[in-house]
């Protein structure tokens, strides 16, 4: 209506323009909120996981565990519990306390 000059009363024209501005701002705010939330969720998902080098983890852990086991007259053996090959990396939740 505004684009086609159908509103001839200047006061009503200003009222419509003000309403359009308000709605455009509201829509812009909604879009920014949506985008921000979507990015935050994606960032959170990336932060929740990390890749762990299993060989390095075992190499770092084995001497300390072996030392503690020896003090308790125990021996530590590392087994996978499966005949499948062990992957060299593993993706674990960030909240995990391994490493």
Answer yes or no: pTM beyond 0.85.
no
pLDDT, position 95: 55
User: Which residues on adjacent β-strands are paired with residue 50?
Assistant: 92
Q: How far is CA 57 from CA 41, 81, 83, 96, in A?
A: 29, 17, 20, 13
Of 75, 78, 81, 85, give the one whose Cα is nearest residue 60.
78
In angstroms, how far apart are the furthest CA atoms of the chain?
96
For a pLDDT cut of 90, what percent of the chain falls above it? 2
pLDDT, position 99: 42
Side-chain half-sphere of 90: how many Cα atoms within 13 Å?
14
pLDDT, position 96: 44
More confident residue, 2 or 61: 61
Mean pLDDT of 31-53: 79
pLDDT, position 68: 87
More confident residue, 26 or 3: 26
For 18-38, what is each residue's pLDDT tens digit?
888 899 999 988 988 888 888
């Amino acid at each position: 209506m505004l684009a086609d000059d159908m509103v001839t009363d200047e006061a009503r024209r200003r009222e419509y323009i003000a309403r359009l501005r308000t709605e455009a701002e509201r829509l812009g705010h909604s879009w920014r909120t949506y985008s921000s939330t979507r990015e935050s969720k994606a960032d959170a998902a990336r932060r929740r996981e990390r890749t762990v080098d299993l060989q390095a983890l075992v190499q770092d852990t084995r001497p300390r565990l072996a030392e503690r086991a020896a003090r308790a007259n125990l021996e530590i053996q590392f087994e996978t519990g499966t005949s499948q090959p062990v992957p060299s990396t593993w993706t674990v939740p960030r909240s995990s306390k391994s490493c």
